[in-house]
Chains A and B, each alone.
Chain A
Amino acid sequence: MNPIQETAGRQTVDAARNLTGRAVKLQVEKLAKHYGEFTALSPSSLDVHQGEFLTLLGPSGSGKTTLLMMVAGLVVPSGGEIRIDGRVATSVPPSKRDIGMVFQNYALFPHLTVFENIAFPLRMRRVPEAQIRKDVMRVLEMVELPHVAERVPRALSGGQQQRIALARCIVYAPSIILMDEPLGALDKRLRDQLQIEIKNLHKSLGTTILYVTHDQQETLTMSDRICLMNHGRIEQVGTPTDLYFTPKTEFGAAFLGESNILPIADVTASDGGISFTLPLDGHVRMSAPHSTVAPADAAKIMLRPEWLSVTVAPPQEAFNSVRGKVADIIFTGEVTRYFVSTGSGTPLAASQLTRPGDRAINVGDDVYISWPRERTYVLAREGAAA
């Protein structure tokens, strides 16, 4: 890992530590949802702190939107409790929860002008007309669209509509904002831009944000903490670096970022960690000195491609290594990716920063793939006590 990533990671960890000291804004306790026989969400618990940006990440059908919709009050839970500021809100109607929500399709009212769309929550709260005018114009300035006030939503571009949806959400300063894949319908450039805008809004408003997405890049960029979900249950909650470096499950390792996940055999305890063999390359002993997983539970190891070095010469003693043949090399700009097939045919992916004149390794070459022993990250088998 390069030093820049290291520091960035540390900063996020620090930020999260500060947050855990704050009050719990939203508390979800054993919340569950069944549709007949189908379980959309198994009983799940989650705390969101004041001012935190927490992302629910997972593939479609993982239960993240169901969880969000129950927090919003739009889906009735089958069991469990929701508390906002410590008060039970499970059966409070959505209009009384002091929450805001940004929908994926924006849900702007097509028959109302932009101004009336943004004024809607204020009118519902019987804010005086003069104040409404002031507030609407203020948020329109914030999203840099003061000139579209009298237009109808369909006259705006997708990015503009999304900004208006944001404006409508922040105009009444709800204490929690829920976002359901708000950038899903936008193209990449616009998405990158709005990610930063949302992040800045979050900083300047200090609002608690619960964000749903299936885009891992978006998650890593924006979140204080991530709640990783799969098959209607929470897999892991942690900072982006926690999830990236120490995933609890194979699903987590595979879903967030790229990874090589390899089964291991003949596991024994050794020097504070474990030692094992990789069935894909003979029976050379390897070790994972920092692993906390009990030898009996150790099933697989995870190696991020950027942890791996590809060399023609054999690596030093302190490294675990596998022999293989380069099957493909892809140059993507700052990073060059190597696909190496090992003895048993299992391919390994490695990526290295591109250096000028880097022509030492070619397709078909016999190479060593190596990584520092302490980087060997061991995954426990499914169902093992964590």
Chain B
Amino acid sequence: MSVVAPPDHPSSGGGWARALAAFARRAPLLPVLIFLALLMVWPVAQLLGLSFFNDQGQLTWGHYSQLFSSRIYVEVLWITVRLAFFTTVVAVIVAYPVAFVIANSENKVRAWLYFLVLIPFWTSFLVRALAWMVLLGRNGTINSWAQALGLTDAPMSLIYNFAGVLIGTTHALLPMAIIIIVSVMENIDQNLSKAAMTMGGGRGTAFWRVFFPLSLPGVTSAALLVFLSALGFFITPTLLGGRREVVISQLIITEIQEMLNWPFGGAVSVLLLGCALVIFWLYDRLAGFSALGAAAQARVAAEPSRLSRVFARLSIALLGVLGRITDRLLALAGADSRPLEDSRTGGRSASLAWKVAAGSVLFFACAPIFIMIPVSFTQKAVMEWPPSGFTFEWYRMYLQSPQWISATVTSFTVAFAASLLTMALAVPAAFVLIRQTVVGRSAIMALLLSPMVVPRIIIAIALFYVYSGIGLVGTTVGLVLGHAVLSIPYALMGVMTVLRNYDERLDQAAQILGAGKTQTFVRITLPLIRFGVLSAFLLAFITSFDDLTVSLFITGGLSTTLPKQMWEDATLQVSPVLAAVSTLIIVFMLVVLALLEWLRRRGEASLKAQAGQSQ
């Protein structure tokens, strides 16, 4: 029976007092809502609004007719959507086996594999794009190895074309896809596949008819988020694409930074946001929003649309056929007689084929990052493969450059301040959202998570526009506020997860035993959730530390951050100093990740202690 205090319906005397108390319990939600309304909703609305007015402030469709009259813009839109589409397809397909192996491994192995996914996930897009430049370049790693092995005579063009961009963006978004799919697969009852097999299904049938359909919500939400992210992407396309791979975000940047054409930039932003919304709508039709964020559980929409019912019937038939085929193949290979339960792994194990597939994908995800380390010690003046000689020259240059050092200091300061602010806003909100029923909860959640969904480039420009009116451009305060907007969803989800697993009866017990609200929080709640809160803080920290998009627009001079400094260097000249800085960032990330992992284990131990008791 639920013990959470829900909204009270004042029925008798003292109704006002009760209503007031009910409001007071939900008041901690207000700061974060106001914050996002001011720094996210209002700026984006203004930016979008701009596109409907001309210089004289009259309503006009002019910017849009300009947008659609020129072939260039439509073509750019087409390139962007095509890139996003292929990225999504490739990323989801290669993510699936990795997620499958992770979800079906025993706990210790799973933790390590997951760690291997988190490394690329938290390494900045910029560092990873630079790594691909070294790998794919004319004198890059792959070309030099291919030539050494005699596979080709002349260097292949792997970069500055669609394939190069596709590899880069897929690599950029793959870890996210894996994480989302794993979160759904982990909640699929292992016994269901076994049950299917006891009822006469082969391994293949059990997978295709039971496991795969249950994992689909993960696949579709991964696809949605990858697509949306790819839509607003510009870092990888700019660094790895050729002249023909201009994407919509680059167009927005050019319009606003070089042409200062705000209304037109706004119109292009509307186009980008429109694309995102259409995708959302399609997703809702086909998969239903219940699947999103259902990381928690794979629920079937209460009233499936006709389209999704037809879709469902077709897919059941298809899955049946796939299952039969796989069963036959496994029988031919003699692999169908493997014992069901492996006592060592407690029945969790994936077959060799899965493991090989997952291993290669994980290698693809992790290895490129480390290519930067040897390059940073090269004696050549360009980032090239193979590195020759050994020198600390580039590290020395970094340490002696006031620009680099100031950027580093700014990055740390801003990230620290932004994550403190984020936590101050997100923690109280998470408590309300988990422990109280709130009217309009889904709308509130949508607002709180919107910085993750609205293309970041739009947030950045919108903030730039609003900031320029109030003198916040180029200030640390402006940057901290902007980064807090970006970090709120991550921190909020982190804290909410911890609180969801927290047994509220512990707080109730403390209160009955005589502890007041404050004492309960300090002596019971906080000690039990501190690891989770700390890791949410670190997530916020990395989000800010890693951000290029917002920094690109609202910093300048002394307030330049590390990613922005790297971006400027990367677009002008590609010096091994970048490799040195990248190496330092990678090492820093690894330290933070190791810390996060340690916190996660500690947190899990204290949650397990609670769970162990309720058995």
Contact = CB atoms under 8 A, between A and B. Distances in A.
B612 interface: yes
Nearest to A62: B1
B522 interface: no
Contact of A105 (B511, B523, B614): B614
A153 B613 CA distance: 7
Interface stretch (B145-153, B229-237, B401-409, B500-508): B500-508
A168 B437 CA distance: 31
Interface string B1-37: 1010111111110000010010000000000000000
B509 interface: yes
Contacts of B505: 103, 105, 107
A contact residues, range: 35 or more
A34 interface: yes
A95 B9 contact: no
Nearest to B11: A79
A171 to B, nearest CB: 9
Given A69-B3, A99-B512, A121-B513, A110 B9 contact: no
B510 A120 contact: yes
A166 to B, nearest CB: 13
Given A100-B512, A125-B514, A105 B613 contact: yes
A114 to B, nearest CB: 12
B183 interface: no
B609 interface: yes
Interface in A179-203: 185
A154 interface: yes
A239 interface: no
A110 B528 contact: yes
B18 A66 contact: no
A93 B506 CA distance: 16
B514 A35 contact: no
B527 interface: yes
Given A69-B3, A78-B11, A124 B524 contact: no
A76 interface: yes
Given A36-B7, A120-B510, A111 B613 contact: no
B515 interface: yes
A109 B524 contact: yes
From A66, A107, A168, name the one whose CB has the most chain B CB atoms within 10 angstroms.
A107
A231 to B, nearest CB: 14
A60 B8 contact: no
A66 B506 CA distance: 18
Given A74-B3, A111-B528, A152-B609, A124 B515 contact: yes
Nearest to A72: B512
B12 A79 contact: yes
Interface residues of B, number: 38
B519 interface: yes
Contacts of A36: 6-7, 9
Contacts of B524: 109
B512 A111 contact: no
A69 B608 CA distance: 26
A106 interface: yes
Contacts of A110: 506, 528, 606, 609-610, 612-613
Given A72-B512, A76-B18, A107 B609 contact: no
B615 interface: yes
Interface string B437-471: 10000000000000000000000000000000000
B3 A107 contact: no
A205 interface: no
B513 A168 contact: yes
Contacts of A338: none
Nearest to B517: A93
B516 interface: yes
Contacts of A124: 513-515, 519
A367 B253 CA distance: 94
A94 interface: yes
A80 B609 CA distance: 38
A52 B612 CA distance: 33
Interface of B: 1, 3, 5-12, 18, 21, 437, 503, 505-506, 508-516, 519, 523-524, 527-528, 606, 608-610, 612-615
19 contacts: A61-B1, A72-B508, A74-B512, A76-B8, A94-B512, A95-B513, A100-B512, A101-B509, A101-B512, A106-B613, A107-B509, A107-B613, A108-B613, A111-B609, A120-B510, A120-B513, A124-B515, A161-B613, A185-B615
Interface of A: 32, 34-36, 60-61, 65-66, 69, 72-76, 78-80, 93-95, 97, 99-101, 103, 105-111, 120-121, 124-125, 152-154, 158, 161, 168, 172, 185
Given A94-B508, A100-B513, A111-B609, 12 more contacts: A76-B8, A78-B9, A78-B10, A93-B516, A100-B512, A103-B508, A105-B613, A107-B613, A109-B510, A110-B613, A120-B523, A121-B514
